[in-house]
């Protein structure tokens, strides 16, 4: 059984209360660590705060310091951030609530072809290993890629679980293709799913590797260093174009959709269990700014269009209403 020492949080009681209010969870209700409570908290988080790269795309700089992320998302309500920023904020608040956990780093499979072929990228994606009271095994938490994760997943070999919109996942153990270490000592964890990246279902028993990771803990400093490398890598997907993804829920508090803008895309789409729907289209920067407001609540200053004309990386402030 994995045992995690209780690390201190970098957030205060006042910041915790403000965070809970920001995601629509009154601080007065019971937040005692439990599987049900952390599932509820994460659902509120992913349906309130988007995974997005506007700060990096429009200013050329992404500040993932825990206090900077708190200021951006909670105090100034400016939007979301990348996987590192989302997980820095989430884990800090979970630690403050009494959970035990730590960051891990993962390599995303870059290959879009046959599922048996993999091409693991850089160690630049983060997730959280969480220990939940009363549970014998740790849980895997990832709010940073909009993979279809809407709740923590029990981290166990060959454990299968449902994701969003028909996606199904499992964890297995496997070696990195380039690892010189053989046997169990050379095995890491792999997250696999039953669909390709375009949501096409594979035949039964066919799985595609999404990412590979170890149980090695990483620190806040590690995530900050990784953020620097991402924003200085011109080939990274978050540098290629606007990415905004956020889950939606119905009146019963059930996650039912995922709104997205993808790199090089000119539409906002809503994916549900039944279909993929185009909500809005945009063809220029003015349309993009309008979409950010209409679909994700992100408001830009009046001169944003002029500031961005003919330029990929610009600087302008935003706020979330």
Task: Quickly count: other Cβ atoms within 10 Å of residue 240's Cβ.
Answer: 15
Give the tokens for residue 91: 């884990």
Is the four-CA dihedral 168, 146, 82, 15 of positive or negative sign? Answer: negative
The pLDDT of residue 149 is 82
Q: Are strands 255-261 and 100-109 parallel, antiparallel or unpaired?
A: unpaired
Question: What pLDDT shows up at residue 316?
Answer: 33
Q: Which residues pair with 193 in a beta bridge?
A: 169, 208
DSSP alpha helix (H) spans, 64-187: 66-70, 83-97
Radius of gyration of the chain (CA): 19
Cα 213–chain centre separation: 16
Q: What is the pLDDT of residue 312?
A: 38
DSSP H or E stretch at residue 40: helix 35-46
pLDDT for the residue numbered 106: 95
The per-residue pLDDT for 46 is 94
Q: Which of 177, 188, 2 is nearest to 106 (CA)?
A: 188
At residue 2, the pLDDT reads: 86
Return d(Cα 155, Cα 172) in angstroms, integer: 9
Sign of CA dihedral 226, 228, 233, 237: positive
With a CB cutoff of 8 Å and minimum separation 6, the contacts of 25 are 31, 40, 41, 44
Read off the tokens for 35: 């599987």
pLDDT < 70 stretches in the chain: 28, 58-60, 146-147, 264, 299-321
Contact 41, 62 (CB under 8 A): no
Residue 305 pLDDT: 54
In contact, 73 and 49? CB cutoff 8 Å: yes
- In this predicted model, what pLDDT tens digit does every residue of 243-267 receive, in sequence order? 889 999 999 888 889 999 877 678 9
pLDDT of residue 311: 38
pTM for the predicted model, two decimal places: 0.91
């Amino acid at each position: 059984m994995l045992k995690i020492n209780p690390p201190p949080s970098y957030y205060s009681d006042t910041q915790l209360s403000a965070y809970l209010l920001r995601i629509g969870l009154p601080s007065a209700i019971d937040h005692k660590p439990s599987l049900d409570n952390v599932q509820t908290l994460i659902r509120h988080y992913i349906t309130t705060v988007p995974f997005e790269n506007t700060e990096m795309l429009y200013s050329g700089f992404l500040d993932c310091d825990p206090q900077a992320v708190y200021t951006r998302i909670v105090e100034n309500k400016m939007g979301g951030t990348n996987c590192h920023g989302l997980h820095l904020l989430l884990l800090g608040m979970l630690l403050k609530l009494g959970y035990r956990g730590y960051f891990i780093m993962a390599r995303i499979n870059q290959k879009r072809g046959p599922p048996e072929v993999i091409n693991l990228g850089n160690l630049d994606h983060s997730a959280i290993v969480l220990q939940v009271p009363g549970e014998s095994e740790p849980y895997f938490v990832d709010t940073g890629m909009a993979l279809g994760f809407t709740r923590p997943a029990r981290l166990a070999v060959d454990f299968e679980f449902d994701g969003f919109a028909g996606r199904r996942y499992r964890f297995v153990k496997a070696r990195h293709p380039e690892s010189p270490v053989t046997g169990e000592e050379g095995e890491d964890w792999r997250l696999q799913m039953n669909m390709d990246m375009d949501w096409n279902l594979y035949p039964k028993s066919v799985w595609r590797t999404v990412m590979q990771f170890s149980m090695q803990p990483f620190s806040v400093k590690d995530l900050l260093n990784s953020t620097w490398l991402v924003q200085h890598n011109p080939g990274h997907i978050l540098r290629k174009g606007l990415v905004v993804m956020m889950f939606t829920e119905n009146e019963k508090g059930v996650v039912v959709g995922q709104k997205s803008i993808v790199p090089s895309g000119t539409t906002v789409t809503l994916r549900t269990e039944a279909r993929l729907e185009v909500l809005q289209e945009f063809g220029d920067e003015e349309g993009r700014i309008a979409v950010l407001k209409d679909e994700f609540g992100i408001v830009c200053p009046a001169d944003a269009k002029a500031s961005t004309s003919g330029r990929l990386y610009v600087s302008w402030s935003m706020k979330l209403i």
